[in-house]
Amino acid sequence: MTLYLDDLRVRHLGECRYDSPLSEMLTTKQTSPHYVAEGDRVLLEDTVSMLAGHDVPPEQVPSFEAAGPRKKIYFDPSSVTAGILTCGGLCPGLNNVIRGLVQELAVHYKVKRILGFRNGLRGLTSEHRDDTVELTPEHVRDIHNAGGTILGSSRGNQDPDEMVDSLVEHGVDVLFVIGGDGGMRAATCLSNAIEARGLDIAVIGVPKTIDNDLPFTDQSFGFQSAFASAMDFISSVSVEAAASPNGVGLVKLMGRHSGFIAAYAALAANGADIVLIPEIPFALDGPEGLLAYVEQHVRKKGYVVIVLAEGAGQDLLEDADLSHRNGKATDASGNVKLGKIDDLLKERITDHLTAVGLAPTMRYIDPSYAIRSVVANAYDSVYCLRLAHAAAHAAMAGRTEVAVARWRRRFVHVPLSLMTSRRNQVDPDGDLWMSVLETTCQPAEFGVQREGEKVPSGFC
Amino acid sequence: MTLYLDDLRVRHLGECRYDSPLSEMLTTKQTSPHYVAEGDRVLLEDTVSMLAGHDVPPEQVPSFEAAGPRKKIYFDPSSVTAGILTCGGLCPGLNNVIRGLVQELAVHYKVKRILGFRNGLRGLTSEHRDDTVELTPEHVRDIHNAGGTILGSSRGNQDPDEMVDSLVEHGVDVLFVIGGDGGMRAATCLSNAIEARGLDIAVIGVPKTIDNDLPFTDQSFGFQSAFASAMDFISSVSVEAAASPNGVGLVKLMGRHSGFIAAYAALAANGADIVLIPEIPFALDGPEGLLAYVEQHVRKKGYVVIVLAEGAGQDLLEDADLSHRNGKATDASGNVKLGKIDDLLKERITDHLTAVGLAPTMRYIDPSYAIRSVVANAYDSVYCLRLAHAAAHAAMAGRTEVAVARWRRRFVHVPLSLMTSRRNQVDPDGDLWMSVLETTCQPAEFGVQREGEKVPSGFC
Amino acid sequence: MTLYLDDLRVRHLGECRYDSPLSEMLTTKQTSPHYVAEGDRVLLEDTVSMLAGHDVPPEQVPSFEAAGPRKKIYFDPSSVTAGILTCGGLCPGLNNVIRGLVQELAVHYKVKRILGFRNGLRGLTSEHRDDTVELTPEHVRDIHNAGGTILGSSRGNQDPDEMVDSLVEHGVDVLFVIGGDGGMRAATCLSNAIEARGLDIAVIGVPKTIDNDLPFTDQSFGFQSAFASAMDFISSVSVEAAASPNGVGLVKLMGRHSGFIAAYAALAANGADIVLIPEIPFALDGPEGLLAYVEQHVRKKGYVVIVLAEGAGQDLLEDADLSHRNGKATDASGNVKLGKIDDLLKERITDHLTAVGLAPTMRYIDPSYAIRSVVANAYDSVYCLRLAHAAAHAAMAGRTEVAVARWRRRFVHVPLSLMTSRRNQVDPDGDLWMSVLETTCQPAEFGVQREGEKVPSGFC
Amino acid sequence: MTLYLDDLRVRHLGECRYDSPLSEMLTTKQTSPHYVAEGDRVLLEDTVSMLAGHDVPPEQVPSFEAAGPRKKIYFDPSSVTAGILTCGGLCPGLNNVIRGLVQELAVHYKVKRILGFRNGLRGLTSEHRDDTVELTPEHVRDIHNAGGTILGSSRGNQDPDEMVDSLVEHGVDVLFVIGGDGGMRAATCLSNAIEARGLDIAVIGVPKTIDNDLPFTDQSFGFQSAFASAMDFISSVSVEAAASPNGVGLVKLMGRHSGFIAAYAALAANGADIVLIPEIPFALDGPEGLLAYVEQHVRKKGYVVIVLAEGAGQDLLEDADLSHRNGKATDASGNVKLGKIDDLLKERITDHLTAVGLAPTMRYIDPSYAIRSVVANAYDSVYCLRLAHAAAHAAMAGRTEVAVARWRRRFVHVPLSLMTSRRNQVDPDGDLWMSVLETTCQPAEFGVQREGEKVPSGFC
C-alpha cells in the first residue's frame, strides 16, 4: 500500500494566533541532524530506490510534519483544560508519559487545569466521568519510579457521544489518549464525534504497544524495557533446563501479531535455541518439523530452550480442532482471544520426547504480568519524556486526530487513522530475523515452505 | 561542510567472486522498512529541505552503501585468517562485539582461524605481536556476561609499517579494529600502509565511543548502558544532597567534547537541577552566573544537584590561569588532557556558599570507571551483535577502510576517514537540549551570551 | 521433642593423625564472638528459660560441635579423591557452594582429584557413574555468576549399594551431597550403607532448601536471594492489580510446608494485603472467611494483592472433593504432590466477586522457575562460600554423616539424621508472623479458630 | 572486659499499667525457636566454654531483655506524642525504619501525633526545633523506595538541655534516635539530662552503622545492602584493571575502624586480590611488604585488584610524616578525620611499579556516596521493619536509654551506654578473616608480625 504526501497530512483545528510561552527559546532553531525546523518535514522513506519511486519534486515526496514546539500556538494556555487517560494493557513508561505531559503543560505552558480520567475510556462514561483526579507537577513528581499507570486502565469501547459529553462537561480543550490500537481507534472515533458536533477540542494520541506492532514508530515506548525484562526470563528457563535431565525450557512472551519482543529478547539473552513468532508459521510434525528439531537438540545438547510469542502457531490450533484452546472469542477491546499455543506445545513436546525415550523435564513460565509492570528503563524514561513534550506541543499548536511518534529518530505527527491502518511486524526477509536465525542456528522454517523456496536445513 | 555522494563511497578490495555460505538465505530479500537490498543505498539526509538542497536525481543524492550480507563475497572463507583488536577506553559492549564477530565468522562463514591481538594496537607491535590468542565460538560463548574486553585495551599510536608486518606475519586477511576516534585514525593509517604495499587485507572499523561523539551513528554502542548507569549516580548524589543541610550533589560524567551522557542521564534521572556540558559555555560569576544560580537554588530548595560533563567549562580554567588544573598535555592517544573543572567547581561553590552563610555539604562522585565497565544492557547486546554481524559481512565482501555504523536505524558502510572528520555534539538549538532545559528548568545559559541572543532568566 | 547432648554428637571416621596444611593459620585462634575454638561447642538453645530447663553442668547442656578447620586432620590430602553432587530443585547458590568446595579442597588442602557427579544421585547409578566431570579451580572460577548448577540435578532415590559401588569405583574418599530433605535422607542411607561395608568414606551434607524449611539452620543458603526475587513479583501483581478495575493480584510462591518465602517477601515488598501460608489454615466462606475479606478489600481500596504459598490451604482441596486438584500422588523425591490451591482460589474469588457485582480483573503469576534460577545475591555468595569452606574442613577432619549448618550465626556440625527429623516452620505465635499481620493488617485467621482462641477481626 | 547480668539491665520509666492494644495477639505466645516470651531473656554468650565461665545459676547468666510487644504498656497511647530523628552519615534503610516506626505507632498503637525532627540533633536546637514535620502512615507509605532519609541528617553534638527544651516544648513522650555511635552517645546524654530534670520521656536508640562496627548487633541494618553495592565496585575496577596493561584496580570502601564492608564485599565479589582493613596493620616496603606483593601479582597475573577500607594503614601516614594526609582534625561528630591512605597507596604503588619497569594503569574509585545512598535490599527492608516494630514496642513499654538490637537472631534491648562501650571489629583470628585469606590467597600479613607469630608467605 503506497502512501502519498496527502495521506500524511495532519488536521489542524485552526490558525495559531497566540505567542507560545516557549517562543523565546525557538528563535535560533533551524533544521540540523538534531532538529527539524517548524516549516520543514521528515521524509517517510529513506533509501534511494524508494525515493526514485516518487517522480516528484522534493516537496511532494511523502513526508511527515515534524513534531516540536511552535512559535505561535492555537490555544490560549491560560484558559486551557487538559485531559489525560491511559487505556489497554500495561506497558512500561505510562507514568513517565503522564508525568512528562503534566510537567510540560503546567510548568512551561502554564496550563492551570489538568484532569486525569480513571481507568481508560471508562473514565469518560457518564457513570465514571466524575472519578477524575486533578494532576499537578507535585502530584506526578515521583510517579515514574513505579510501573503501571496511576490513572488505571481498562479495555473496551465506549459510546463516542457519551465520551464527548464528558469532555464538554469538564470543559476539556485538549485530550491525550495514551493507548494501543484499540485506543487509537477509539480516539479517532472520538475525534470524529467532536468534529461532527463542531467542537474545538484537540485529540492527541500517544501510541502505546508493548508488542511494538504499531507502524510509523521506530520502537514504541516501553519496548526496550519490556524485552530487557523478557531476556531475564529466557535466562531463567535456560538455567532450569540446563540443570535438568532432558530439560525443556519454554517461555511464553507477549506478541499477539508481531514477534519483536521474542526476537529481541532472544538476541539479547542468547540462550534461546528456538524462537517462534506469529510472522513465521511452523509445523510440528515431520522430519523438518519442530518436534524433530527439539528432539535432535535434546539429544545433542542435553536440553533445549524455546522462546514462544503468544500469537505464534495459531493455525496449528485450528488444524488440530482443539476447540478448547482455539479461542474465537474476542476480549473487551475487540481483539480476538488467542488460542493456547503454549498448552499445545507442552503437550506435544512432552509426548514426543517421552515416546522417543527422552522423558523431558518441562520448565515453563508465562511472565507477562511481570514484564508489563516493570519500571521504564533509562532509555525509555528519556524517550517517554520527549514523546510527552512533543504531544503537549502538538496539542497546544492545535493539531488534532494526530499521533506523536518517533520516525527514524525524529519526532513527527502521524494522522491517527494511519496508526491503525497496518501493523508493524518482523520481516521474515529483514535483517532482524536473519540475526535471530544466525544466533539461534535454528532452521529458517520448520517444515513449512513459502512458495518457491528451498528450506535450509539448520545451518550451524 | 556539505557532503556529496562521492564522499560517501566505500573502498572495495576487488570483485566478489565467491558464493557466500549465506547466499541461500538472501534470495528473497528486497528493500523494505526492515531491510535494504544489496544494490540499494540509504539516504544521508532525511528532511524535505535537505533533499531540496540537492538538485540532482535520486541516485545522485548523498547516500550510504547499505551494510549486510552479500550473495557473492570477495574472500574464500575457508582460507581466511581474521584478526580482532579493541583499543581506547572501555565501553559497554566490547565483549559483545568480539563475540558476535567470532560467532558470525566461525559458525556462518566457516572461517577457521580468528586471532585476538592483545591490548589494542600495542598487540600489533613486534614486541607484542606474539601475545595473540586464538578465538573460537566456545571461547567467547559467555564473555558478554562480563564488562570490559577480554582482549585488553590500551591507548597510543604505533608505527603503521610495524603493524602491517604483524598482520603479514600472522597471515591476516581481515582486521577488525574496535576503537574510538584514535582507533579509527590509526585504522585509516594502517589501511593506507597496507594499500601502499599492495596487500590484500581488509580493515574494518567498528566505531566505539562511550561519549557518543562519533558522527554518522545513531547512538554508539554501549551509550545506552552507560547513561543508564550514570543515571544511578545522579540519584546517589541527589539522595545525599537532599539529606544534608545545604547539600551540593556533584557528579562528574564522561564527555570530553560532547555532553550526551550528561544530557541523557539527567533526563532519565530527573533529579538534576543543573547540567553542564562542553557545548554550552558558562560563567561562574555575576548575577546570571552559575554560582548565583546555585545559591538561589540552595536557598529555595535546600540543596542542588549538578551534573557535570568532564569537558565542560574548560575555558574557565584558562581564564583563571589555574595552571595546575589547566592540562595542556596530551594522553597516549593524542587527546588533550582535560583540566580539572570538578576541582574548580568544588572550590568555587564551597567558597561562594560559605561566604553567603550557606556553608555547604559537598557530595561529589566521579563514577567513570564504574560506568565504563558495566555489562551491556539488553538493547546494547542486540545492537552490538547486529553491528558485529554487519562488520563480518563487510569484511567478507572485501570492503576496506570502512566503518560499520547505524544510521537512522539502518546499518551502513561509512568511509573510515569520515568517522574522524567531525564530531557528534549536542546541538544547543536541538530538541534534546531543549528537553534538558525544560526538565531541569535551568536557564539556557549561565551569564554567557551567544551573539545577538537574549538570555532567558530561568523559566520555571 | 527434647534434644539432649547425645543427640547432637557427630560421627568421626577415626583419629586425626595428619597435620592440616592450614594448621599454621590456626595456632592463635580461641573462642571469641567471631570464632569458636576447636574444643569448644555451640549451645543449642539461647534463652534463660531453655537453659534452666537443663539441670546439668555446662558441658552437658545440649550443644553442637563447632565447624571449622582442625589442626590435625583425618585424611592425607595428597591422596584424597573428593566427589560432589547437587540434588533436588534449584536454589540460588548451588554453583557458589560447588566453587567454594573446589577452591578450598584444591587450593588449600591440595586435593588433586575432585569429581562432579551429574544430575544428582542419578550420577551415582551404574548407568551414569561415568558421566562425571573433573572439577578444577580454573573450571569453577566464574560459575557463581550463573544461577542453577553446573552439575545438573534431579529428584529421586537410588539404590544405596549401587551408589556405594560408584564411590568405590571412583575411589572417592569424601562425598559432598548438596541437597534438600530428600538429599539429606539419601545421604544418610548412603552413609549407613558405607558403614555397613566398613568403608572409609566421609559423607557430608550441605543442606539446601529454598523454602527455608530445614531445621538447625538460621536461614538456608539461597533463601535471601529467593525472597528478594519473590518480592519483585509481588510488586508486579500489585502494579497490575492497582491499575485494573477490581484488580486481584495473586502470586504463587514456593513453600510446600513452610511459608517463609511468602512471609519475608511480603514484609519486604509491603504491597501485599493478604499472605496465605501452610502453617495457618484458612476458610474461604463465611463472614470471617477469605472471600468476604477479599470483597471488603476490593470495595474499599479498589483492588487486593494476595501472596500465596503453594502449600497453603491444602485441606480446602480435600474438603471440596476436587479430585483433579487434590494431588495424592508423590513426585520422584517422594514428596506428596500438592493440589492446585491457586486454581481453586482463582475460581472462587472470581465467582464471589462477580456475584457481588465486582467482576474482577485477575492478575496471576507463578514465578517459581524465575525465582529458583536467580544468581545468589551478595549475602548468599558469602554465606555459600563460608559454608563450603566449613564442609571441606569437616570432611578432611573425618566427620561423616554430618551436615554443616549455621546456627545463630555460628557454623556447626549437625548429625545428618537430625536434619530430616523435623521441619522449620513459621511459628504462628512467633514475631515474624506477627510482623506480617502488623504489616498487611490482615486478620490473624480467616474464619478458622484455633482451640480456645478468640479471633481478632482485622485490626487495622 | 567481662559483662555481668547487671550490666545488661535496662532502665524502665515505671510500671506498665495500660493494656496494650496488641495484647489480644499476645495471649498464646511462649518461648520457642521463633519467639522469646515476655519474662524470658536471651543469653549473651553462646558457647559451652563461655557458659562454663559463669559459675552461677541460669537466671544469673548474663542475658538481654527480649524485645517485643508487652501485654501491659507504660504510656497511654491515645495521648502519646512521638518524635523521630536520624543523625550521622547515610545508611541504607533509614527510611524503612522511619516508616516502620510510624506505621506501628499510628496503626497499631493508635498514636495520633508523630513528629519528625529535621537534620538530626540540629532539629532539636532552638533555632531549628520548629522545622519539624508531622509524620503519618500516608506520608511515609512509599519512602522506603528511596535511599537516604526524608528527615535529613547531620553530624555534630548539641546542648542536651536545649534539646530537652525542644522535647518539652513539643510535648514529646518518646523519642527515637536513629544514629551511629555519635548518635548513641548523644542519646545517652539526652537521656541523662531528661532524668536529671525528672521528666517522663523515653529515649530509644536504633543503632545505625554502615561499617557494622557497633557491638551487640548481628549485622547492623543496611550493612548487607551496602556490601552488596560495594561488591559491584570491586567488579568495576577488576574489569578495568584486567583490560589494561599492568592494571591496578583500587577501590576505597567505608570502614573507619572496622573492615567488615571490605571483607564481605571481597568475599562476595571474589575478584579481589588484596584486602586491607584497619584491624590488620601492613607494611609497604621490604620483601614481605605490600609493594613487593603487588609487583609479584602484576608480573604473574598481569594486574591486581586491591580493596581498601578507608581506615586501613593509618599508622603509615604517621610514620611517613605525611602531614598533608595525616589528618588529626576531627569532624563535627568528634570522629578523628582519617588521613588519605588512598593517595599514599596510589603514589607508592605507581612509583614502585614504574621503577621496576611495570608502569601501571591506575584504576581508582571512591564509591562511598553511591553505596551509602542505595535503597535497602529485600533482607534489610524486612530487618528494618522488624527493628522498628521492636523499637516502638520498647518505647510504649516505658523502656528508656535503651537500644534495640538483633543478637544472634533475637531482637533484644541493650542499655544505650553499652552500644558505645566497645567496637565490633573483624577478628584477625576469626573465621571471617580466615575465609578472606583463603579466598584472596593474600598472605596473613604484609611484613608486620604480631608478637610470637610466624607469618606464612602467601599460601596459594
Of B119, B237, B243, the CB nearest to D149: B243
Residues near A52 by Cβ (< 8 Å), separated by ≥ 6? B57, B58, B59
Average the pLDDT over B81-88 and give the result.
Answer: 98
Tell me the per-residue pLDDT of A126-165, one tens digit each, with 9 for 90 and over: 999 999 999 999 999 999 999 999 999 999 889 999 999 9
Measured CB to CB, residues of chain C less than 8 Å from chain A are 90, 119, 122, 146-149, 152-154, 232-233, 235-237, 239-240, 242-245, 363-367, 369-370, 372-374
Chain A residues with beta carbon closer than 8 angstroms to that of B221: none
Q: What is the pLDDT of residue D273?
A: 97
Q: Which residue of D has its CA nearest to B152?
A: D243
Indicate if D55 and D202 belong to the same structural domain: yes
Asked whether residue A180 is assigned to any structural domain, the reply reads yes
Mean pLDDT of all residues in chain C?
Answer: 93
Domain at A99, CATH number: 3.40.50.450
Indicate if C337 and C261 belong to the same structural domain: yes
Asked whether residue A455 is assigned to any structural domain, the reply reads no
Tell me the per-residue pLDDT of C146-185, one tens digit each, with 9 for 90 and over: 999 999 999 988 999 999 999 999 999 999 999 999 999 9
pLDDT value at A284 more than 70? yes
Binding-site members of B for Mg(2+) are 181
Binding-site members of D for ATP are 89, 155-156, 180-183
Residues A180 and A217 sit within 8 Å (Cβ to Cβ): no
Distance (Å) from the C-alpha of residue C247 to the closest C-alpha of chain D? Answer: 20
- A–C: how many Cβ contacts below 8 A? 89
Indicate if B319 and B402 belong to the same structural domain: no
**Cβ distance of A48 and B32 shorter than 8 Å:** no
Of B90, B119, B242, the CB nearest to D240: B90
Tell me the per-residue pLDDT of B306-362, one tens digit each, with 9 for 90 and over: 999 999 999 999 755 444 444 456 666 666 667 799 999 999 999 999 999 999 999
Whole-number Å distance between alpha carbons of D129 and D119: 10
**Cβ distance of D244 and B154 shorter than 8 Å:** yes
* Between residues A292 and C452, the one the model is more confident about: A292
Distance (Å) from the C-alpha of residue C398 to the closest C-alpha of chain D? Answer: 20
Give the H or E element holding residue A406.
Answer: strand A402-407
- The phi, psi pair for A402, rounded to 5°, reads -135, 145
C452 marked among binding-site residues: no
Query: Which residue in B279, B456, B238 sits closest to B364, CA to CA?
Result: B238
Tell me the per-residue pLDDT of D259-297, one tens digit each, with 9 for 90 and over: 999 999 999 987 899 999 999 999 999 999 999 999 999
Mean pLDDT of all residues in chain D?
Answer: 93
Asked whether residue B5 is assigned to any structural domain, the reply reads no
Binding-site members of B are 89, 155-156, 180-183, 209-211, 254-256, 310, 369-372
Indicate if B178 and B114 belong to the same structural domain: yes
**Cβ distance of C46 and D51 shorter than 8 Å:** no
C155 marked among binding-site residues: yes
pLDDT confidence tier of residue B270, bands split at 50, 70 and 90: confident
Whole-number Å distance between alpha carbons of A50 and A65: 19
**Cβ distance of B28 and A438 shorter than 8 Å:** no
Q: Note down the domain range covering B64.
A: 11-220+376-419
Q: What is the pLDDT of residue D27?
A: 86
pLDDT confidence tier of residue D124, bands split at 50, 70 and 90: very high
Residues near A207 by Cβ (< 8 Å), separated by ≥ 6? A179, A180, A184, A214, A217, A220, A403, A404, A405, A419
Q: How many domains does chain D have?
A: 2
Which residues are bridge partners to B336 per DSSP? B330
Indicate if D411 and D318 belong to the same structural domain: no
**Cβ distance of C240 and A148 shorter than 8 Å:** yes
Residue with cell 508481531: A258
DSSP secondary structure, B216-243, as one string: S-SS-TTHHHHHHHHHHHHHHHHHHHHT
Distance (Å) from the C-alpha of residue C347 to the closest C-alpha of chain A? Answer: 18
Tell me the per-residue pLDDT of B245-255, one tens digit each, with 9 for 90 and over: 999 999 999 99
Strand order in the sheet with D247-253: D274-276, D303-309, D247-253, D361-365
Mean pLDDT of all residues in chain B?
Answer: 93
- CA dist list (Å): B313 to B292, B309, B428, D95, D339: 16, 9, 15, 37, 31
Q: What is the pLDDT of residue B323?
A: 43
Indicate if C190 and C287 belong to the same structural domain: no
Tell me the per-residue pLDDT of C41-59, one tens digit each, with 9 for 90 and over: 999 999 999 999 988 999 9
Whole-number Å distance between alpha carbons of B27 and A429: 9
Q: Name, of B30-39, C108-117, D30-39, the range with top average pLDDT.
A: C108-117
Q: How many CB atoms lie within 10 A of CB A33?
A: 19
Half-sphere exposure of D436 (CA within 13 A, CB side): 27
**Torsion-angle region of residue D171: left (phi > 0), alpha (psi -120 to 50) or beta?**
left
Indicate if B209 and B271 belong to the same structural domain: no
Q: Which residue of C has its CA nearest to B143?
A: C142
Q: Mutate which of B154, B158, B236 to test chain D, going by most D C-beta atoms within 10 A?
A: B236
Chain B residues with beta carbon closer than 8 angstroms to that of C145: 145-146
* Between residues C121 and D336, the one the model is more confident about: C121
Q: Mutate which of D28, D382, D410, D427 to test chain C, going by most C C-beta atoms within 10 A?
A: D382
Indicate if B114 and B238 belong to the same structural domain: no
Average the pLDDT over B160-175 and give the result.
Answer: 98
pLDDT confidence tier of residue D455, bands split at 50, 70 and 90: very low
Indicate if C135 and C235 belong to the same structural domain: no
**Cβ distance of C243 and A148 shorter than 8 Å:** yes
> Angle, nearest 10°, between helix axes D378-396 and D94-103?
40
Whole-number Å distance between alpha carbons of D104 and D107: 6
Q: Give per-residue burial for B254-276: e unless 16+ CB within 10 Å, then b.
A: bbbbbbbbbbbbbbbbbbbbbbb
Query: Which residue in B115, B96, B424, B100 sits closest to B258, CA to CA?
Result: B424
**Cβ distance of A244 and C373 shorter than 8 Å:** no
Asked whether residue D458 is assigned to any structural domain, the reply reads no
Indicate if D389 and D333 belong to the same structural domain: no
Q: What is the pLDDT of residue A336?
A: 65
DSSP secondary structure, B3-51, as one string: --GGGG--EE-S---EEPTTGGGGTT---BTTB--TT-EEES--BHHHH
Distance (Å) from the C-alpha of residue B208 to the closest C-alpha of chain A? Answer: 19
Residues A117 and A80 sit within 8 Å (Cβ to Cβ): no
Q: What is the pTM of this model?
A: 0.94
Tell me the per-residue pLDDT of A311-364, one tens digit each, with 9 for 90 and over: 999 999 975 544 444 445 666 666 666 779 999 999 999 999 999 999 999 999
Average the pLDDT over B281-285 and give the result.
Answer: 97
Q: What is the pLDDT of residue D337?
A: 67
pLDDT confidence tier of residue D323, bands split at 50, 70 and 90: very low
Chain A residues with beta carbon closer than 8 angstroms to that of D142: 142
Asked whether residue A154 is assigned to any structural domain, the reply reads yes
pLDDT confidence tier of residue C324, bands split at 50, 70 and 90: very low
Please give the positions of D annotated as active site: 211
**Cβ distance of A148 and C90 shorter than 8 Å:** no
Measured CB to CB, residues of chain D less than 8 Å from chain A are 142, 145-146
Query: Which residue in A397, B141, B85, C131 sits closest to D243, CA to CA?
Result: B85
| Cell numbers placing D411 | 531482637
Asked whether residue A3 is assigned to any structural domain, the reply reads no
Q: What is the pLDDT of residue B447?
A: 87
Indicate if A207 and A232 belong to the same structural domain: no
Distance (Å) from the C-alpha of residue B145 to the closest C-alpha of chain C? Answer: 8
Tell me the per-residue pLDDT of B174-195, one tens digit each, with 9 for 90 and over: 999 999 999 999 999 999 999 9
pLDDT confidence tier of residue C449, bands split at 50, 70 and 90: low
**Torsion-angle region of residue B171: left (phi > 0), alpha (psi -120 to 50) or beta?**
left
Domain at C256, CATH number: 3.40.50.460
Indicate if D205 and D309 belong to the same structural domain: no
Asked whether residue B445 is assigned to any structural domain, the reply reads no
- A–D: how many Cβ contacts below 8 A? 4
Tell me the per-residue pLDDT of D222-241, one tens digit each, with 9 for 90 and over: 999 999 999 999 999 999 99
Catalytic residue chosen out of the listed positions C211, C213, C273, C380:
C211
**Cβ distance of C236 and A366 shorter than 8 Å:** no
Tell me the per-residue pLDDT of B22-67, one tens digit each, with 9 for 90 and over: 998 898 899 998 999 999 999 999 999 999 998 899 999 999 999 9
Task: Name the neighbours of D, counting chains with at least 3 Cβ pairs within 8 A.
Answer: A, B, C
Q: What is the pLDDT of residue B326?
A: 46
Asked whether residue D24 is assigned to any structural domain, the reply reads no
- B–C: how many Cβ contacts below 8 A? 4
Written as one letter, the residue type at B133 is V
